[in-house]
Structure 1
Amino acid sequence: MPIQHLSHPTFIVKDLERMAYFLCEGLGAVEIYDSQAQHFSLSHEKFFSLGSLWLAAMQGDPPAERSYQHVAFKIEEHELASYQARLEALGVDIKPPRPRVKGEGQSLYFYDFDNHLFELHTGTLTQRLARYSEDTEPY
């Protein structure tokens, strides 16, 4: 049987309450579970619902360094400015935009409080592949 879909990404974080604040206030997630003192997994964890996604956050040692490895969420272009304002109000580190190929959509890149990189993206895979197949210069 083939893989059906992404089940859930898990983010290892220093402070679960701060991650809950980031996900709920910054991205609009809803907290749906808190293990509290019961550790069914490796440590204290929380689960969140974001759109149709299940996200997990677990207490532990987050990545020591930042990288370009990231999770991207699809949004509509007219929502980009609103999300940016919400994230700026939280004090997260928003990266300057990278050069974009015209027609591939817009992105907002930002780090949470534990060095995880996120992207809010307005394009689709179909749009990007169509643009990349054109016989023109990228920029």
Structure 2
Amino acid sequence: MAVLGISHLTFIVRDVERTACLFVEGLGATEVYDSQGRNFSLSREKFLLLGGVWLAFMEGEPTARSYRHVAFEVAEADVPTYAAALQALGTEIPPARPRVDGEGLSLYFHDYDNHLFELHAGSLAQRLARYAQ
């Protein structure tokens, strides 16, 4: 018996169309499904693929903001391009948190429904090596 990996991540959002646009246009995700009123789950939903990860967005009332987040791995050279695309779509990019050298560059952004996402240019191995210094 073994967990094979992450199956999918589900986020509750007010407007699945607007959120899908953010991830497709801002991050390059691919939309693969839209229930369009033929709901098999709790509410309307859209499925997207981003970096090989299945993202599910379901209509509903989102939760309050917190530091709880999902981080996607990106190349450091691409961070400014992502920042520009996300800002053009009206996302909120908070100031970067204090970091130690070697942790890897990160860009945090909130979607329209209080979810916090991170685009991170670094690996677990790099982080652990830096913390071991």
Same-fold call, TM cutoff 0.5:
yes
Letter in 2 for 1:114: D
Cα deviation for residue 38 of structure 1 reads 1.0
Structure 1 or 2, whichever has the larger Rg, is 1
Cα deviation for residue 37 of structure 1 reads 1.5
The 5-angstrom pairing of residues 61-80 of structure 1 reads 61-63=61-63, 65-80=64-79
**Cα deviation 1:65-87 (Å, max 9, x = unaligned):** 21100000000100000000000
Letter in 2 for 1:15: D
3-state SS of paired residue (1:40): coil
Cα deviation for residue 2 of structure 1 reads 1.4
Match of residue 104 from structure 1: 103
Cα deviation for residue 104 of structure 1 reads 1.1
Over aligned residue pairs, what C-alpha RMSD do you find? 0.6
User: What TM-score, normalized to structure 2?
Assistant: 0.98
Gaps of 5+ in 1: 135-139
Once residues 21 and 49 of structure 1 are traced to their aligned partners in structure 2, the CA distance between those partners, rounded to angstroms, is 13
User: What TM-score, normalized to structure 1?
Assistant: 0.94
Cα deviation for residue 88 of structure 1 reads 0.6
The answer on 1:55 being equivalent to 2:55 is yes
Counting matched residue pairs gives: 133
Letter in 1 for 2:106: S
Q: Percent identity?
A: 60
3-state SS of paired residue (1:97): coil
Gaps of 5+ in 2: none
Match of residue 81 from structure 2: 82
The answer on 1:117 being equivalent to 2:116 is yes
